[in-house]
Amino acid sequence: MFLLNKFTLKIAVLVALLLLVGWVFSNIVLYIVVSVILATILKPMVSGITHFKFLGVVGLPRVVAILIAYAVLLGVVTLLVVMFIPLVSNQLEMIEQIKMDKMLASIEEPINVLEKFLIKKQLVHDKQEGFMVDALEDHFLSDITALDASKVINHFINFTSQFFIGLLAVTFITFFLLYEKGILKRLFLSIVPNAYFEMTIAALYKIEKLLTNYLLGLLLQTFAIFTLTSTGLTIIGIEYAFTVAVFAAFINVIPYIGPFVGGLVAVIVGLTTAPLTWTGEQYGVLILQIIGVATIVHLIDNILLQPIIFSKTVKAHPLEIFVAIFAGASLAGVIGMVSAIPVYTVLRVSFTELANGYKRYQVFSRYQKPLL
C-alpha cells in the first residue's frame, strides 16, 4: 500500500509539473497539439504515397510524400479561403451602404421631440433646439476619428507576426512528426522505467487508436454536417449556401454552442442577401425556413452522428461525454469544450491501464512475481 501511495504521489507530482509547464509554455503546447492533429490527418496520405507505384518505382521518398501532402492541404485551405471571399465582400458592401448621415437622420425626429419636451419643462437651461443632435454628431464622429491608426496597425502587425510564427512552428513540428514515425512515443518511452514499460506500451497503443478513431469520426461528422446543411440551404434558396455550410460544419466541432452559432450565421447571411423589396412576412418565412434546416441538421447530428462517433470511437457512455464536456467548459471555456473528449479519453485509458498494471504487471509490488 505504501508503494502504491508513493507511486500515486509521483504520478500526481508529474501531472502537476506537466500542467505547470503547459500553462507557462501554452503557445508551444498549442503548436504541438495542432501539429499532432495535422500529422494524424496527413499520416494516411503520406503512407499511401510512399507505397504508391510511380513510373515503375515502388513508393516515393518520404520527404516528397510529405511535401505532396502539404500541397494538398494548402490547396484545401486555399479553396476554403476562396469560398469565403465573395461572402465577406458582400457583407462589407452592405456595411458600406449604411450611410452615417442617414442613420443620424433616422433618429433625429424622436430626439427633437425629446429636446422640445426638456426645453418646455425647463429641465435644461441655456439650450436651443438641436443641441442633442449636435452633441450626438460630435461625440459619434469624434469616436470614429479618435481611433488611433497606429494602434490598429500595431495590433495587426502583432497578430500577423504571431500567426506566421505559429504557422512556421506547426509546419516544422508536423514535418518531423511525419518524417520520423513515432518520435513522440519514443521520446516518452525513453523516460519510462522498465517496471512500467509494458503498462505504458498498452496505454499508449489504446490511446493512439481511440484518438485516431475519434479524429477520423470527427472528420466524417464535419463532412456530414456540411452535406446536410448545404443541401437544406440550397433547397430554400439561400445565397452562399456552400460557404455557410462550411462554416457551420467546422463550428459544429464546439459542442452545444457551435450549432447555435452556425444557425445564427445562416440567418444573418440569409437576411442580408435577401431582396430589399421583400415584405416583413417574407423575411419571417425565410427565418423560419433557416431555423428549420438548422434544427433538422442538429437533430440528425444528435440522434445519429454523435452516438456513433463519440460513443463508439472513444468507447464512452454519452453521460460520461456530457459531464466531460461541461467540466472542460468550466475549466477552459470553448477550448475546454473542444478538447474535453480527447483529454477525457487519455485520462480514462491511463487510469484503466494503471489499475491493470496493479493487477496484471504488479508494478507496485516490491517483489514482482513472474507472469504466467
Task: Kindly report, residue by residue over 14-36, the tens digit of the pLDDT.
Answer: 667 777 776 777 778 788 888 88
Task: Kindly report, residue by residue over 54-68, the tens digit of the pLDDT.
Answer: 666 666 788 888 999
Sign for the pseudo-dihedral over CA of 84, 87, 93, 96 = negative
Q: Residue 369 has what pLDDT?
A: 47
Question: Given a cut of 80, is residue 360 above it in pLDDT?
Answer: no
Distant-in-sequence, close-in-space partners of 347: CB < 8 Å, separation ≥ 6 = none
Question: Given a cut of 80, is residue 38 above it in pLDDT?
Answer: yes
Q: How far from chain centre, in Å, is Cα 251?
A: 6
Q: Is residue 330 part of a domain?
A: yes
Q: Calculate the alpha carbon distances from 131 to 32, 100, 116, 120 in Å.
A: 59, 18, 11, 14
At residue 124, φ and ψ (nearest 5 deg) are -130, 150
Q: Is residue 96 part of a domain?
A: no
Q: Of 49 and 312, which is predicted with more confidence?
A: 49
Number of domains in the chain: 1
- Structural domain that includes position 206: 193-366
Q: Is residue 70 part of a domain?
A: no
147-175 mean pLDDT:
81
Q: Residue 366 has what pLDDT?
A: 45
Task: Kindly report, residue by residue over 229-248, the tens digit of the pLDDT.
Answer: 999 999 999 988 999 999 99
Distant-in-sequence, close-in-space partners of 300: CB < 8 Å, separation ≥ 6 = 224, 228
> 103, 285 in Cβ contact below 8 A?
no
Q: Is residue 357 part of a domain?
A: yes
Q: Is residue 262 part of a domain?
A: yes
Q: Is residue 49 part of a domain?
A: no
Task: Kindly report, residue by residue over 130-143, the tens digit of the pLDDT.
Answer: 667 677 666 655 55
Q: Residue 234 has what pLDDT?
A: 94
Q: Is residue 85 part of a domain?
A: no
Q: Of 360 and 281, which is predicted with more confidence?
A: 281
Distant-in-sequence, close-in-space partners of 291: CB < 8 Å, separation ≥ 6 = 263, 267
> 226, 246 in Cβ contact below 8 A?
yes
Q: Of 15 and 41, which is predicted with more confidence?
A: 41
